[in-house]
Amino acid sequence: MRIGIKRVYDPVSSADGLRVLVDRLWPRGLKKADACVDVWAKEMAPTASLRKWFAHQEERFSDFRHRYLAELEEKQDIAMKLLERAAGRPITLLFAARSRSCNHAVILQEFLLRQESRG
């Protein structure tokens, strides 16, 4: 299964498959009708305290990754339900952060791919 990531503000593509918003808060300035989100998996986002601590500071990304993966280990059942919901279709994890490489969706993608391989 392909699990991709893209900003929620990027154009929708037919190749996106199941479009999953993985932010805890709804993205600023985006109408729900325009987002084409199939699932809002806010429970898969980092906790509010971890998100605030990270504050998208690149120098904290390594520590953030470690802490977020620890949170995700407690959510394996939710992750498996999300993978099952895709039913073999591609999944695109949608995020609102400006950085395409220093955000929680990158880590969540890695986690879900690992969960799928355990499957």
In this prediction the pTM is 0.94
Query: From edge to edge, which strands make up the β-sheet containing 39-40?
Result: 3-7, 91-95, 18-21, 39-40
pLDDT truncated to tens, each residue of the chain (119 aa)?
Answer: 899 999 999 999 999 999 999 999 999 999 998 899 999 999 999 999 999 999 999 999 999 999 999 999 999 999 999 999 998 899 999 999 999 999 999 999 999 999 988 76
Phi, psi (degrees; rounded to nearest 5) at 94 = -105, 135
Task: Tell me if 93 sits within 8 A of 19, measured CB to CB.
Answer: no
